[in-house]
Amino acid sequence: MNQDRRKFIKTVGFGVLGTSVLISDIAAATPTTFNINRKNHIPRMKLSFRPYELKLKHVFTVATYSRTTTPNIQVEIEYDGIIGYGEASMPPYLGESIESVTHFLSQVNLEQFADPFQLEDILAYIDKIMPGNTAAKASVDIALHDLVGKLLDAPWYRIWGLNKDETPSTTFTIGMDTPDVVREKTKEVASDFNILKVKLGRDNDKEMIETIRSVSNLPIAVDANQGWKDKYYAIDMIHWLKDKGIVMIEQPMPKDQLDDIAWVTGQSPLPVFADESLQRLTDISQLSGAFSGINIKLMKCTGMREAWKMITLGRALGLKVMIGCMTETSCAISAAAQLSPGVDFADLDGNLLITNDLFKGATVVNGKITLNNLPGIGVQKLD
């Protein structure tokens, strides 16, 4: 069965798969059910899920909260003996919970679809079950992409026609803490990364930067998490930060102050990226004049399929693109990493912040996101 799939992939060519051939076309060209000589057997997709708690290595503090764990739900879609893996990660500000994701996934009926390659139809159905619930929807999307990639015996970066050698370096996040802890955290990771990410937005912003600069000269990406309320203060901070070796600013002001953000972006010597202001594909067009870049996260945009569309639209509008994450296992991180050769910045360190990862997938080598050749999202489940 795998040999037949590999022959088909080689015949079509991955460059074509990534550009002009739709997944539905691929499905039509392959054996309809991948079950040669198995008459009267019609496989169906089966969804299963279970809660899981992610345990953080350090207390994680941003402008609005601190936490030591993140609720998570692990998802599997089984089809004809092949399993696709997905997950929903639920940091507090998303508004989702174990209960809400469980309720949503309980409404999902994938057995009505005979063909897992019909991604557009299946994910449109998922999106219409109820509004919101983006992490729950992302968990199904990721598992479905993993399944389809395995059926094709190809990783998604190849299906999309991306070059895995063009992945960016990933930032590593330094959360807010006392100077001594920040100094130790920085020294602990600085030799393994090419760029750091620092959470700002409280009253100790300059102290945070000066503390990191006392032990590292690495480039820094700053995420203010909507913490700066005044546009004049924000632009003064950005100019000060540029002198300290900062290379980009993420969500400097509250998302409801879009006019102020647009003013700051127009005055800023650094690119300004939308995070909390951006969730889904339909948000991008109204942000193109207010930001110079967008940060796409699978848990906010419902998964890989919409993220790919967001990258395409962002590029068309002249925006820089970043792929980000929540606190996640290597499952969701590896799914996002499949998109990383097509972006300018990456913040895919969520799996590195936890102690209880369930998967082995994309890695960081010399600070750079490194993709493997495993099919689907590129993960192996750990025993």
Rounded to 5 degrees, what angle do the CA atoms 187, 356, 89 make? 100
Q: How far apart are the first and last CA of the chain?
A: 26
Query: Which residues 6+ apart lie within 8 Å of 40 measured at CB?
Result: none
All domains in the chain, ordered by first residue: 8-156 (3.30.390.10), 159-381 (3.20.20.120)
> Whole-angstrom Cα distance, residue 110 to residue 77?
9
> Whole-angstrom Cα distance, residue 362 to residue 338?
9
**How many Cβ atoms from other residues are within 10 Å of residue 291's Cβ?**
27
**pLDDT tens per residue, the chain (383 residues)?**
444 544 444 443 443 334 334 444 444 444 444 444 455 678 999 999 999 999 998 776 655 556 788 999 999 999 999 999 999 999 777 889 999 999 999 999 999 999 999 999 999 999 999 999 999 999 999 999 999 999 999 999 999 999 999 999 999 998 888 899 999 999 999 999 999 999 998 889 999 999 999 999 999 999 999 999 999 999 999 999 999 999 999 999 999 999 999 999 999 999 999 999 999 999 999 998 899 999 999 999 999 999 999 999 999 999 999 999 999 999 999 999 999 999 999 999 999 999 999 999 999 999 999 999 999 999 999 97
The pTM (predicted TM-score) of the whole model is 0.88
Tokens 């395409």, residue located: 312
Torsions phi, psi for 102 (to 5 deg): -60, -45
